[in-house]
Amino acid sequence: MSLPHAILTALLEKPSSGLELTRRFDKSIGYFWSATHQQIYRELGKLEAEGFIRTLPAEQPARGQKKSYDVLPAGRAELARWTSASQDPRPHRDTLLLRMRAAAVVGTEGIEADLRRHLALHQGQLAEYEEIEQRDFPPGKDSSQDRLRHLVLRAGLDLETFWIQWLTHALDEFADLPGGEKAGADGGR
């Protein structure tokens, strides 16, 4: 249910065409709320039909010209309603954690290499977030909007730091497992 609200947020930040919106998703909102280009275009149609957004008039009529969208008062009101509503956190689902649990009974073949791969991916993501922080949030940039956007980025920084610490710990534990336990309870059969 949050994709329409993510789109409304992005359009309130800057009226955009569908293509511009998908590119902005790839560079910002997509870090924590992903959507395919098809999902975004489909949702733009629904939001327009519901009266939450409108197509901006084209400067010059042309066939195949990209449409730009703007948020209407009803869309702003819906986003404000959704923002102020209480929501419970969702249970965390992670395939790697489930695979680690399964490895306890069927063996750990391939897990250590994948833990190392995940560690490298999280280290790379942390480095990217740190670059964004340096670029977009220099000292003194402290408007309310900047502070809230920085808090979102801070969540990404903290999550990547958590995963790096956990994966490092998991690899240390993995290295300390006796040889027989790495194969699983049935010896890997």
Do the beta carbons of residue 90 and residue 74 sit within 8 Å?
no
Higher per-residue confidence, 18 vs 117: 117
Amino acid at 186: D
Identify the band that residue 166 occupies on the pLDDT scale cut at 50, 70 and 90. Answer: very high
- Residues contacting residue 54 through CB under 8 Å, at least 6 positions apart: 48, 69, 70, 72
Mean pLDDT taken over the chain = 88
DSSP run (H or E) holding 84: helix 73-84
DSSP run (H or E) holding 66: none
Identify the band that residue 67 occupies on the pLDDT scale cut at 50, 70 and 90. Answer: confident
Whether residue 117 is predicted with pLDDT greater than 50 in this model: the reply is yes
Q: Please state the pTM of the whole predicted model.
A: 0.78
Predicted local distance difference test score (pLDDT) of residue 181? 53
2 to each of 35, 45, 128, how far by Cα in Å? Answer: 11, 16, 25
pLDDT tens digits for range 4-35? 999 999 999 999 988 888 888 888 887 888 88
